[in-house]
Amino acid sequence: MVAARWWRGVFAPLVLASPFPTPPQHTQDQVSVLELSRAKAKAASEAATPQVLSFFDSVGFREMLKGCCTEVANLTAEELLQRYRAEAQVAELAHALPAPGESIGVFSDVTTTEVGELPWFPNEFEVALMHNRSMSEGAAPINDIAQKEIFGCKPFAGPKPTWTEASSRLIYIAHNMRRLDSGSEPFFGDLTVVFNSSRVKDSVVIAPYDTGLYTMMCLRPEMSGHHKMKKFLPHLNCSAWPVNLPVGTLDYLDHLILPNLAAPVNSSVTNRTILDTARELYTRSGMSKIDYQDVPALDLRSLGGYMESNIMANPRLPEVVKFGIGNFDTLFGTKDGQEVRKISQRFKWPLPPWLQSGMVPTIDWLDALMTVA
């Protein structure tokens, strides 16, 4: 039965017929936005380098490094920056997606079934059109604002985007500097796909922190009022990420390094400081030379500490995906799990499971979150 469903395909007829043709890898609008972003990122990154170096040489930062990460504590600020940039280039670009019917429903996302049947990896607005979902639902309005105001995407002319307008938007990606075994945040779905960085590197546009949270807490606080998880939203430091901060690229992101560490700590509501976030990053990341099996556990707050490194393209499947990561706890032995295995076999994606014996104690917490919400 599963095989029959697989081969017939829920989606294939829609894709072959006209309303949702395979979009170009880059639309004209994406090309223009990417060009402008690259130019701005280079200028902003170069202007920010001295500030980053002086932070790396500050007494507090050096003390922190000595405490957590002795192997790199004596490196010069320039060496530390080189390590940061090098790590950022190779950190996983990860997107977690749900099995059919498993979506948290906050925004439209391609499902594990659909991703096995489409010739490209669709963004949220393409999926919303394919699923015939209203653009005023869930996080769509928040994400639309974020994509326009942070990433410079062109506004939709009407209340519902055309196919070309939707195809000019971006795919949400977590940049896995903290080496989560789940790649992305696991509550976005049971299958994480990790993109081949060398195929997408010129399409990646980077914000210093999660743009949905930033939009709700900083750009449009009035819109977070109805968020069903409001009490779990972190208090951000909005001044740490100035409204006009240009996005970065994988080559130019020095200007995001400090905002990434500072945005999640607001001294009016927490005693944590930017040094605590920096310690978390350094103890988890490959920059510190701490072995993967020795890295400390992450709590939910730091799970979400990634730079949001979105792909502004319609990248081709299956080759744009390097491998998939299946959630062992929820997929093993289930129909969805079998389907994910099939997709991976067909596309020749390696599929390492992330195991509950890993270091991220998320699932209980997330069950609690979903229940409370």
Ligand X SMILES: *[C@@H]1O[C@H](CO)[C@@H](O)[C@H](O)[C@H]1NC(C)=O
CB 195 within 8 A of CB 27: no
Chain residues 345-364 in contact with ligand X, contact rule CB under 6 A:
none
239 lines the binding site for ligand X (CB under 6 A): yes
User: Does position 70 bind ligand X by CB under 6 A?
Assistant: yes
Interatomic CA distance for residues 367 and 60, integer angstroms? 37
- Contact with ligand X (CB under 6 A): which of 266, 286, 359, 366? 266
Binding segment (CB under 6 A) for ligand X, from list 77-85, 160-168, 222-230, 262-270: 262-270
Q: How far apart are CA 337 and CA 190, in angstroms?
A: 9
x-marked contacts with ligand X along 92-121 as a string, rule CB under 6 A:
------------------------------
**How far is it, in rounded angstroms, from Cα 250 to Cα 310?**
11
Residue 224 interacts with ligand X (CB under 6 A): yes or no: no
- Interacting residue with ligand X among 58, 196, 224, 356 (CB under 6 A): 196
Least gap, CB of 243 to ligand X (angstroms): 12
| From 52, 99, 257, 262, residue interacting with ligand X (rule: CB under 6 A) | 262
Task: For ligand X, give the closer residue by CB, 154 or 199.
Answer: 199
Q: Tell me the closest approach of the beta carbon of residue 356 to ligand X, in angstroms.
A: 26
Instruction: Give every CB contact of residue 199 below 8 A, 6+ residues apart in sequence.
Output: 315, 319, 320
Q: Using CB under 6 A, which of the segments 53-61, 98-106, 259-267, 355-363 binds ligand X? A: 259-267
Q: HSE (CB half, 13 Å, CA atoms) of 329?
A: 16
Of residues 214 and 252, the one with the C-beta less far from ligand X: 214
Q: Would you give the DSSP letter of residue 57? A: T
The answer to the question of residue 237 lying near ligand X (CB under 6 A) is: yes
- Binding flag, residue 233, ligand X (CB under 6 A): no
Give the residue with the Cβ less far from ligand X, 101 or 159. Answer: 159
DSSP string, 61-129: HHHHHHHH-GGGTTS-HHHHHHHHHHHHHHSEEEEEEPPTT---SSS----HHHHTT-SB---HHHHHH
Site string for ligand X, 131-170 (x = CB under 6 A): -x--------------------------------------
DSSP, residue by residue, 150-169? TT-PPPPSSSS--HHHHTTS
**Is residue 290 classed as helix, strand or coil in its secondary structure?**
coil
Helix%, strand%, coil% for the chain, nearest 5: 50, 10, 40
Of the pair 5, 235, the CB lying nearest ligand X is at 235
Per CB under 6 A, does 74 bind ligand X? yes
- Cα of first residue to Cα of last residue in the chain, in angstroms, is 35
240 binds ligand X (CB under 6 A): yes
On whether the CB atoms of residues 56 and 81 are closer than 8 A, the answer is yes
Of the candidates 60, 48, 59, 37, the residue with the CA atom closest to the CA atom of residue 84: 48
**285 vs 362 by CB, closer to ligand X:** 285
Q: Does 238 bind ligand X (CB under 6 A)?
A: yes
The answer to the question of residue 269 lying near ligand X (CB under 6 A) is yes
CB closer to ligand X out of 126 and 336 = 126
Owner of token pair 């005693």: 271
Q: What sign does the CA torsion over 309, 254, 278, 149 have?
A: negative
Give least dist CB 118 to ligand X, A.
18
Q: Which of 228, 230, 235, 346 binds ligand X (CB under 6 A)?
A: 235
Comparison of 289 and 335: residue with beta carbon closer to ligand X: 289
Q: Which helix (H) or strand (E) is 345 found in, with range? A: helix 335-347
Residues that bind ligand X (CB under 6 A): 70-71, 74, 132, 196, 198-199, 235-240, 262, 266-271, 322
